[in-house]
Amino acid sequence: MEVVVETTATKEEVVQKKGIVEMYDEAANMWDELWGEHQHEGFYDTDSPVSGLKSDHKLAQTRMIQEALLFAGFSSDAIEQPFADGQFDLVWAMSCSEHVHDKRKFVSELVRVASPGGTIIIVSFFHRNLDSSEESLQPSEKERLEKIGELSFSKWCSAAELIKLLQAHYVEDIKTADRTPHVAPFATALVQSSSRPRVGPKTTKGANMTPLMVEGYEMGLIKYAIITCRKPQ
């Protein structure tokens, strides 16, 4: 990286700025390999043990950003976003739509904050799409989803239902794909995480629904899908 310094800078300032840039340039590859994109400190709970796992430190680095935003009062609800219309070329919703009960408002907000021509990506859990001969899920399927919802604060819909909500906004280039086989192994990791010391009761409660989720995968009821589309110009 070439360092360009204003001529008004003192010799000491030039040396300092050049040294900082060179230090980070030399360490960049190492930090990328160790921690990925976040080259800054992490935020940890003072009353919880810290493991040496790389994944724990990466989570702490992400949390540092979240805590800074919360401290500054910058937080929002998915269905009441604080952004003006058409702000973002890319709007991304990852593993959250199943927790939003007002799906219509959720989709409306995603489309609203996307810029004309912007891309919207939704990656989330859904229940299976209905066959053409079906009007609703089977009673046993509904019962299972209700149990999972009680444990994970979720409300279920199908990917097809969410796509219909997007179509009401005349979005273009809609694509969807089933990612369930690629996500199913995460259930094992969820169970393992719940057994760690000082995990909160809500996390443990959420992990307790994992057997129901696994069974849901196996019976074809629960799907993990990706949906993409583009807001009209």
Per residue in 57-110, pLDDT (tens digit) is 777 877 888 788 778 776 667 888 888 999 999 999 988 888 888 999 999 999
Q: Is residue 57 part of a domain?
A: no
d(CA 30, CA 24): 10
Per residue in 151-183, pLDDT (tens digit) is 777 889 999 999 999 999 999 999 999 999 888
The reported pTM is: 0.68
Our count of domains for the chain comes to: 1
Work out the widest C-alpha separation in the chain, in whole angstroms. Answer: 79
Q: What is the CATH number of the domain that holds 152?
A: 3.40.50.150
Backbone angles phi, psi at 44, to 5 degrees: -125, 150
Please give the residue range of the domain that contains residue 146: 77-233
Q: Is residue 30 part of a domain?
A: no
Q: Is residue 84 part of a domain?
A: yes
Q: Is residue 181 part of a domain?
A: yes
